[in-house]
Amino acid sequence: MEHNPYDILGVTPAASKAEITKSVALAMKRKQYPVDVIAKAQKSLMKPEERIIADYLRPILPTIQRFKYSDLSALEQPAPTLVLLPEFDGLEQAIAQAAKEERLEQEPLPTPTSELLTEGITACQEQRYPKAIKYLEDYCQSCTDRNSQNYLQAEMWLVRAYQMGGQLQRAIAICQRLSNHHHPQVQAWVSKTLPMLTREISRV
C-alpha cells in the first residue's frame, strides 16, 4: 500500500461518510491519483471493517515510506508509536458489528417507488453518490414504463452517480443503451456525454 486511503482522499480519521463521498469528487478533480485508486480508497473508508485497518496503518505508513528509499539517516529519528486505542480492545466484536451494519445498508430501501427518483436526484446533487446509486437503481428496476420521462431522467442521473462514484464502465453501458433511443433530446445528451466518459476512462 503506497498511500493510506485518508491521504488519497485528503480526509481525517474523524471524517463522516458524507465527507468521504464529497472528498471523492474533489480528489477526481485534482487528478493526483488514478480513478481506480480513488475508488479503492473510498471503498476502504466506507466499509467499517476496512476502515479499522486504515486507522491502524495510518501512524506507521510514513516510517515505511521513508525506509523505502534506503535513507538510513531516518534511523536516527524516533519512530512513531502505534497506540492501541481502548475502544478497539474488542476488535472481533467491532468487525462483526460493522459487517452487520453493511448488510443492513445493502437491503432494499424502505422507500415507495414514487419517491425513489426524487431521493436519488437529491442524493446525487448532495454528492452522496453511493446512496444516489442505490435509490436510482431501485427506481429503474421497479419502473414498468421504460419509455417514460421519469425513467429516462433516472437513467441520466444514474450515469452521473456512476461517473462520480468511479464506476465508469456502468455509466458508459447506460449511455450506449440510451444511444438507441428515438427521442432527439436523449440522442443529443448521449452524443455529448458518451465521448466525455470514454475520454475519462482512457486516462485511468
Q: Residue 162 half-sphere exposure, CB side, CA atoms within 13 Å?
A: 22
Alpha-carbon gap, residue 25 to 11, rounded angstroms: 12
Alpha-carbon gap, residue 189 to 164, rounded angstroms: 17
Alpha-carbon gap, residue 156 to 150, rounded angstroms: 10
Kindly report the pTM of this predicted structure: 0.46
Q: Which residue has the cell 466506507?
A: 46
Alpha-carbon gap, residue 96 to 152, rounded angstroms: 40
Of 27, 32, 199, the residue nearest 127 (C-alpha): 27
Mean pLDDT score, 76-87: 57
**pLDDT confidence of residue 75:** 54
pLDDT digits (tens, 9 = 90+) for 32-59: 888 888 888 888 888 877 777 766 665 5
| CATH classification for the domain delimited by 109-202, as one of 1.10.10.10, 1.10.260.40, 3.10.20.90, 1.25.40.10 | 1.25.40.10
Positions of CATH 1.25.40.10 in the chain: 109-202
Q: What is the mean pLDDT of the chain?
A: 78
Of 137, 53, 130, 62, the residue nearest 98 (C-alpha): 53
